[in-house]
Copies of this chain bind each other. A is one copy, B any other.
Amino acid sequence: MAAWVEEVPEEGFLSRKFLDKPWLLWRELDGSWVMVSDRCPHRFVPLSRGKFNDGKISCGYHGLTFNGKGECVFNPFSQQIPNNARLSTLPVVERYGALWFWLGDASLADQDSIPDFNFIETGQPISCAHYLMGVNYELIADNLLDLTHAEFLHVENFGMKGSLFSHGKQKVEVDDSGAIWNKWDTKDAPPPDWPEHLKREGITIDEALHIRWHAPASLALFIEINRHDTGEPVIPPMANPHILTPETQKSTHYFFTHGRSKEAEEHARKVFLTEDEPMLQAQSDAMDGEDFWDLNPVVMPSDVAAIRARRQLLKLRSEEADQREEVVAQLNFNN
């Protein structure tokens, strides 16, 4: 995921870095989206320092102008367009109020591989949020895939007073879409403090805390809290995207949604930016650039989902490396 649609200015563009490279996103007049390199091929300055007009970006240094196909359409110095004056482009589509891009071989881009986040558009009215976290995306995915950390790191906000440990059962599953799920189901557990009447009336609850991960790091969290006796919801079921896109090896775009209130916005910022991020940065500092596995981590049953996700990424990376080698071998053979 590159951005929320609403992050891109109406008659302008958005500049954002992914995997160490800067890109520009804008909407064409026909409503389609484009994504071009934010680096002029003449002297390498960011085109985002230039001027945008009518779907074309002019470099602020010497004026070369490019369209959304990455073509140079104006050279102030002559009628001739220099041969290699071209911007890289990436396939990008809109879905679920978000923009999705594909960094690999463009011919392999497959919209069907975008995970299902239908709930974003069909659920309660929401606000879209974007955070930039100063850690590697895999550490954030680890954090999300093991929600037991809420009992310690978010105890004031989400803590279940240990009922996860006393009454919960964990299941790790892979669904047909290839997603890894970590499902904690709590049965007949003491109710939370709120709403107040539950405790007074001796009502216990069932809670489902399910998180879903699609490679590389598109997560969705589903929470249900029901009365154990009647099965009636105590709160409306919740579904939230937690979509992570690397900016660099050590920073990550974090896309989230929350309720429309100022309170919900502040609550989310508090949890992500004052509880999660400092802990993850301390973790990142402590790991000091070493590989996760080389540090010989203690592995517990609660880690199974996160570890499966890490293994799947290793497999994908290894397959990609094999494919590249094959392409190179093929090229050598043909020559």
Contacts and interface: CB of A to CB of B under 8 A. Distances in A.
Contacts of A46: 282, 286
A144 to B, nearest CB: 13
A149 B60 CA distance: 8
A151 B44 CA distance: 18
B297 A42 contact: yes
A44 B297 contact: yes
B44 A295 contact: yes
B61 A298 contact: no
A260 interface: no
A286 B22 contact: yes
Contacts of A58: 152
A62 B296 contact: no
Interface stretch (A27-35, A78-86, A218-226): A78-86
B162 A76 contact: yes
Interface in A80-126: 82-85
Nearest to A139: B43
A312 to B, nearest CB: 19
B149 A62 contact: yes
A286 B44 contact: yes
A82 B286 contact: no
Say how many copies of this protein the assembly contains. Answer: 3
Contacts of A41: 296-298
Contact of A42 (B49, B279, B300): B300
A251 interface: no
B45 A300 contact: no
A114 B67 CA distance: 47
A235 interface: no
Given A39-B286, A45-B282, A286-B44, A78 B149 contact: no
A299 B287 CA distance: 41
Nearest to A292: B44
Given A46-B286, A49-B282, A286-B39, A77 B296 contact: no
Given A61-B153, A296-B84, A76 B148 contact: yes
A302 interface: yes
A22 B283 CA distance: 12
Nearest to A76: B165
Nearest to A168: B77
A59 interface: yes
A82 B300 contact: yes
A257 to B, nearest CB: 25
A283 B77 contact: no
When A and B form their complex, which 3 residue pairs have the shortest distance between CB atoms, in order from nearest?
A: A42-B298, A45-B283, A44-B286
